[in-house]
Structure 1
């Protein structure tokens, strides 16, 4: 059985990320400052976290390209906390850990310096757990720090514009509820829901809420007992992915006797596909966490090496794994030469051009961005970053 919590005097990044997830909100505050006019050719936003909890600093900067071998924080703006990075359009949204829940919006000047473009504050909550951007004026976020809530906000003005009533999906037998992971498709928002009992053990099914955005209400709650624990915190560990056909895949980490696995909701449907289940534990030999989907069924997850240390109190404990969603097969390790990574807090992967994928290796020995060749399957280090943990790597539109 997986050990879900082991607390000591030095919380891991994963436990900090875990603390970001309790959803709640109160009245909002936002900046009245207009967005600055930025005309730079900055194409990438990178953030990393340095220091030890609770004295951590997030460094954020923009780059014109990734044609460099080393990157330090000399050009970075600083935030005095652990922050997750979310990107939409030409802006990034950094959600800091620590009350009150704060979302800082940044664009970048011609030198790659982060320029403040507004702030949204939710008193009474600690952070934003998951965010989904629908348009320039419509976004949704679960907010952490007490009662579980889902707010609607305007990404342009950083004003809260509504709230989705989640009363219908509460469970009296659940001591706590977490909302983690979101993906919008066809006017619906699919949101991961996780219920915990008095002993802080997750219920033994995977749950996803289906929300009708036009009606601004919960349509139904899906449950599937083939796996459990849809519980991926922050922006640097992903568990929801759409393929080229519009099929939605959702990864769950497993719990108790239920294995980690991947479920599917086909295009045009709002229920789990009863004929599809990718048992990751059976396929790879161990439970896995996260899902990154690319072309032709090629996908990646991270395999948990020591099941008793899923939240990495004792150091990096995850390894990248290649899988094929179409064939439901394991393709082996990404590279045996790579070190174990802090996969419970960061396992970022992004498409880079037409023929390669960028991914982050944050371990006890390095903090770097690597590339993977889709055609030739080669792995090479691309950028060595300053010490710390990379929590954001996004291409801007």
Structure 2
């Protein structure tokens, strides 16, 4: 068994650009890859997926030489890793605006499309509702809903995708109300074509919470506007009895419409939502306590003095358990408003670089870049507050998007 391989996308481009039929021809038997983990990386020459049997083994994961194929011609851009998701060892992504593909790694280190679903209108993979996922079903949104001018709402569909045959079990739609006034730029002019971006979805105890922000053009480009926290809450799954929550303390609900998650439920079922101030990009946490549907006015964890998500394109908050969460590069105790560890210090000054990291058996796996421009995967154990250095990643890469469990 090879210790690490680069997954080639040789046949992928052809199969994905073929006609979007719902059930592509699949061989009766397919050999799945036997390695345990994958790492999605980019370099100045392209994008690759590397595999290994052991993230903590003293080995080098590299896309150098002729071991793999540059997939940048297939992906719309290097940033496309934030619009892809790995679920139960399979990759899910959209590529041409309507086609939603399920991809699997084969034993000969190639990637194969094993199923697809053709949406009738525009679709790019957005948020994943992790609380609702099951073994046979993936619950997802698309990056942009539809503005209904008559109702002045964003109609955001939620798709319940059967992962066994890639068909839709059902679709629900949440109507998120727009502002009833026109926001103004600092020059006191209306923003051009303001729009809404859902940045988080959480379902808890029969309620759905949708964090969102507003964007619009000030004439020089699209900008985040309205420096307040907006959360829409409604009954689930009926979507009835909706109301809009607003809080001016922390800023917009952080994140964008890509897969990354910037909210979490703690062990007490309290919902924490990351906020971001426009401008200097300072962060904070607000809370909606278990059983409540209002933002807790007595709680705000100000993170303005910390370099949260420094040098990352986007990041995912990870619940570590026992009252802890990972908000890169910090381990935080949100209930007590404390920073309990800085993983840059524990790793000897390395900076975290992964967009979507991995939790397995209660331990966190993230990629860090040292001052000497060496890239390594580190394991963090919350129980001991200690790190271990694992596999090295070729120093020629520019970013790590995913660390995934394949089986």
- TM-score of the aligned structures, taking structure 2 as reference length: 0.69
Residue 298 of structure 1 is aligned with which of 311, 314, 324? Answer: 324
Residue in structure 1 matched with residue 276 of structure 2 by the alignment: 253
Q: Is the contact between residue 347 and residue 360 of structure 1 (CA under 8 Å) also seen in structure 2?
A: no
CA RMSD across the alignment? 3.7
- Residue 366 of structure 1: how far off its partner (Å): 4.2
Residue in structure 2 matched with residue 350 of structure 1 by the alignment: 358
Q: Aligned partners of 2:112, 2:70: CA distance in 1, in Å?
A: 9
Residue in structure 2 matched with residue 91 of structure 1 by the alignment: 90
Q: How does 1:17-36 map to 2 (within 5 A)?
A: 31-33=22-24
Residue in structure 2 matched with residue 329 of structure 1 by the alignment: 338
Question: Aligned with 1:335: secondary structure?
Answer: helix
Q: How does 1:204-223 map to 2 (within 5 A)?
A: 204-216=227-239, 219-223=242-246
The verdict on how the C-alpha distance between 1:262 and 1:171 changes in structure 2, with shifts beyond 3 A counting, is: same
Q: Aligned partners of 2:226, 2:32: CA distance in 1, in Å?
A: 49
Q: Is the contact between residue 62 and residue 108 of structure 1 (CA under 8 Å) also seen in structure 2?
A: no
- TM-score of the aligned structures, taking structure 1 as reference length: 0.71
Matched, 1:151 2:157: yes
- Residue 261 of structure 1: how far off its partner (Å): 0.9
The verdict on how the C-alpha distance between 1:258 and 1:234 changes in structure 2, with shifts beyond 3 A counting, is: closer
Q: Aligned partners of 1:50, 1:236: CA distance in 2, in Å?
A: 21
- Residue 281 of structure 1: how far off its partner (Å): 1.5
Residue in structure 1 matched with residue 115 of structure 2 by the alignment: 118
Matched, 1:263 2:283: no
Q: Aligned partners of 2:307, 2:53: CA distance in 1, in Å?
A: 41
Q: Is the contact between residue 45 and residue 92 of structure 1 (CA under 8 Å) also seen in structure 2?
A: no
Q: Aligned partners of 1:190, 1:47: CA distance in 2, in Å?
A: 30
- Residue 66 of structure 1: how far off its partner (Å): 2.4
Q: Aligned partners of 1:177, 1:167: CA distance in 2, in Å?
A: 9
- Residue 139 of structure 1: how far off its partner (Å): 1.3
Matched, 1:182 2:201: yes
The verdict on how the C-alpha distance between 1:296 and 1:67 changes in structure 2, with shifts beyond 3 A counting, is: closer
Matched, 1:374 2:374: no
Q: Is the contact between residue 76 and residue 114 of structure 1 (CA under 8 Å) also seen in structure 2?
A: no
Q: Is the contact between residue 367 and residue 389 of structure 1 (CA under 8 Å) also seen in structure 2?
A: no
For structure 1, which runs of at least 5 residues remain unmatched after alignment? 1-28, 303-319
1:283-327 Cα shifts (integer Å, max 9, x gaps)? x4889876332122222324xxxxxxxxxxxxxxxxx12322121
The verdict on how the C-alpha distance between 1:275 and 1:111 changes in structure 2, with shifts beyond 3 A counting, is: farther
